Each structure stands twice: as structure tokens, then as C-alpha cells.
Amino acid sequence: MPLITIEVSETVPVAQRLAYAEAVHQGLAEGLGMDIEDRFQVIHPLPADHIIADPHYLGGERRDVLYVRILMVRMYDDETKARAFRAVARRLEAEGVRPDDVFLAVTENTIQDWYPGARGESTDDV
């Protein structure tokens, strides 16, 4: 159950932001093999001057960076995560995001670090 945070310039229209969110979701479902219903996302539109990225770090040519933070349970090997990164980047590129402008970061934790709702339990039992 990844929790996705997307930081994007507020100049990007709402429909395009939602397309980016869909591209990220589809890429993660493809790359990680997760259930398509497993979707939890937050989109943060920010003033353009609040999104800072070195334009040439690691030889890139960044212009309009889209930050995607992925918080997920530690359960995927490096190859699977790399496959997911490629799938997300490819799908974002199809939505008009240049590959140099995609910045993905994963933070992992354990299943004990999540509370995805009471799942039928009384909150008194929690």
C-alpha cells in the first residue's frame, strides 16, 4: 500500500495533475505488481519558485521537475523498484513530463508502521 505524494507546479492544470497521478499509479501497479485498487495519493500544487532542482545535476537538463515521493512497506528488491521507476517515468513521459524532469524517491518501512483503517474493528480495540 504505497502512499504517494506528488509535488507539482501550480501552473500545471488540474486535469494534467490528475493525469500525472494516474500515470504514477499505473506505473507502480505495473512495476511493483501491486493491486490496481491499491491507490493512495496526495497532490501538492506549489508555486513554481518553491520547486527547486539543480538544472544539470548528474548531467541532466531539468526545467519543470515533478517530485514523486513513495512511502511503502519494505518488501521489494532493487530490481523490482528499478522496474517500477522505469514504468512510472515512461508513463509520465506519455503525459508530457520530460524524463529529466521526473524525480522519484522511495522511503520504506515495515507493515507495523501502517494503520490503513480499522478494517471492521472497533476503535476501542485499537
Q: What is the pTM of this model?
A: 0.90
Span 112-116, average pLDDT: 91
Q: Which three cell numbers stand for residue 84?
A: 517500477
CA atoms of 63 and 125, how far apart (whole Å): 50
Range of the domain at 58: 3-112
User: Does residue 125 belong to any structural domain of this protein?
Assistant: no
Q: Which of 49, 80, 44 is nearest to 64 (CA)?
A: 49
- What pLDDT does 21 receive? 98
Q: pLDDT digit string (tens) for 5-21?
A: 999 999 999 999 999 99
The answer to whether 28 touches 2, Cβ cutoff 8 Å, is yes
Number of structural domains (the chain) is: 1
Half-sphere exposure of 17 toward its Cβ, with a 13 Å CA cutoff? 17
- What pLDDT does 120 receive? 57
CATH number for position 56: 3.30.429.10
CA atoms of 87 and 27, how far apart (whole Å): 5
Q: pLDDT digit string (tens) for 9-65?
A: 999 999 999 999 999 999 999 999 999 999 999 999 999 999 999 999 999 899 999
User: Does residue 54 belong to any structural domain of this protein?
Assistant: yes
User: Does residue 117 belong to any structural domain of this protein?
Assistant: no
